[in-house]
Structure 1
Amino acid sequence: MDRVSRMDTKVLELEDDVREVYQHSKDNRKEMGRLEGCQKGLRLGYKCYLVYNNLADYAGASRKCMERGGRMAMPRDRREQEALADYVKSFFSPGNWPVWLGVNDLRSEGAYVFDDGTRVSYFQWRKHFLSSQPDGGRRENCVAMSSDDGDWWDHYCDRTMNYICEFDDRVAL
């Protein structure tokens, strides 16, 4: 019985060690993602942005950005929006490949918020006499940026498209 008790203790210690290694691995992935974003992407003030040419739905893109230590891009003013639009356009040029932004109205129709929960105060909706945005009503609740002109469009959240992550360069582990 004493031998079984010692084995149980060792198993518990090993489980604790595995949890600690897992947490360090997770922290390292976040730091590596942040460093990659700031080295390969666009640096703007204390933020870095990196386009991921991988298709994901809105929730998946958000999760992938968080796993990398960031969040989906949240352009808060005209300066950020224009810099992001230029970066995304140069990344996908020629062509138009939309990217998810961290903007949605999932909680309340027409009340757009960033993924961090703050209200969006600057918008870059597509304005055209044939198809002004947003036009999806309760069906299209997630926002993407067009890579050819930087305009925003509302889309179905389960649509898969590329995405852009935002990293805070002031944060370090």
Structure 2
Amino acid sequence: MEYDLAQCEKEGGYLAEVGTAAENQWLFQTFVAATFSEEDCPKYYSCAIWIGGNDLKQEGHFVWSHNNNTIPLTNGLWLTGRPNDFKKEQDCLAITHSSGLWNDLSCSTERPFICEFEF
């Protein structure tokens, strides 16, 4: 995910930060659902797009990488039982294809990503 962050910054932006459920739904419909087909995604976690959240500095405390604001774990945007830090290696936040909800996944996995720009 460091590459993705660097790519966004190179273009003058940052990995997307989601403020509301409506914004998350728009990102899901515009980017996630449009990127993957059902055939691409045999498992619910196999297709997801990076956004800018992580808990790299403190396990279980997710923050946005650009503004460092805390991401609530009770905002209704997480998959049930997530974040779970499976195998102690899931520290980055992605929007899943299966539902548009969030999952914590391994930061080292290459995935598409959404950059945000201020105008």
Q: For residue 116 of structure 2, what is the aligned residue in structure 1?
A: 166
Q: TM-score, normalised by structure 1?
A: 0.57
Cα distance in structure 2, aligned partners of 1:89 and 1:158: 19
Identity of aligned residues (%): 24
Cα distance in structure 2, aligned partners of 1:77 and 1:165: 17
Q: For residue 113 of structure 1, what is the aligned residue in structure 2?
A: 63
Once the two structures are superposed, the pairs formed by residues 80-119 of structure 1 within 5 Å of their partners are 80-95=23-38, 96=41, 97-116=47-66, 117-119=68-70
After superposition, the CA RMSD in angstroms is 1.7
Matched position secondary structure for 1:61: helix
1:147 deviates by 2.4
Q: After the TM superposition, list the runs of 4 or more consecutive aligned residues in structure 1 that deviate by more than 3 angstroms.
A: none
Contact 1:89 1:148 in 2 (8 A): no
Gaps of 5+ in 2: 42-46
Cα distance in structure 2, aligned partners of 1:89 and 1:111: 25
Q: Deviations over 1:96-145 (max 9, x none)?
A: 43111100000101111001211113451112xxxx21111642111111
Cα distance in structure 2, aligned partners of 1:123 and 1:160: 26
> Is residue 156 from structure 1 mapped to residue 106 from structure 2 by the alignment?
yes
Q: Which has the higher contact order (CA 8 A, sep 6+)?
A: 2
1:93 deviates by 4.5
**Which has the larger share of helix?**
1
Cα distance in structure 2, aligned partners of 1:111 and 1:89: 25
Q: Which has the larger radius of gyration?
A: 1
Q: TM-score, normalised by structure 2?
A: 0.81
